[in-house]
Amino acid sequence: MKFLPKDPPRRFPVGNSVKFDMKDCGILALTPDEQITLVTEKGAEYDVARKDWGFYATPSLNGRLEQFGLRAVLIKNRGTGRYFVLLVEGGHEPAFDAYCEQENLAVITWLDNTRALDQLAEKVKP
């Protein structure tokens, strides 16, 4: 693993209806079979693992991610048509709902439990 900090962080505007500055604090380079864990103040954890073919972008959606206190959700930006997978910290759903309203985002489906994932799998089964 190699971390290259950006000091000072690069700042750039983001947001659709409400603009704010995002701070790009650095670059983290992983080699295959390395993992990093990001944590919140409340102890929620998010792992990113590098493989020789790419990345595991999240821990298991209906296992470790749930145990870490995070809920995966597929959303669509109504304005741009772009899709994103977001991770919502448990207990912060009202703030997430307000953000979706503010930024014109639609929840397509929650990806945070086995039942929801099994239903999705049935819908997209070839």
Cβ contact 115:74 at 8 Å? no
For 101, the enclosing helix (H) or strand (E) is helix 93-103
Type of residue found at 25: C
Question: DSSP 3-state assignment of 1?
Answer: coil
Q: How many domains does the chain have?
A: 1
In degrees and rounded to multiples of 5, residue 88 shows phi and psi of -105, 125
pLDDT at 17: 81
Full domain range(s) for residue 54: 2-124
Is 112 within 8 Å of 65 (Cβ atoms)? Answer: yes
Determine the pLDDT at residue 52. Answer: 97
User: Block means of pLDDT (10 residues each) for the chain, length 126 residues?
Assistant: 95 88 96 95 92 94 91 95 95 96 95 93 89
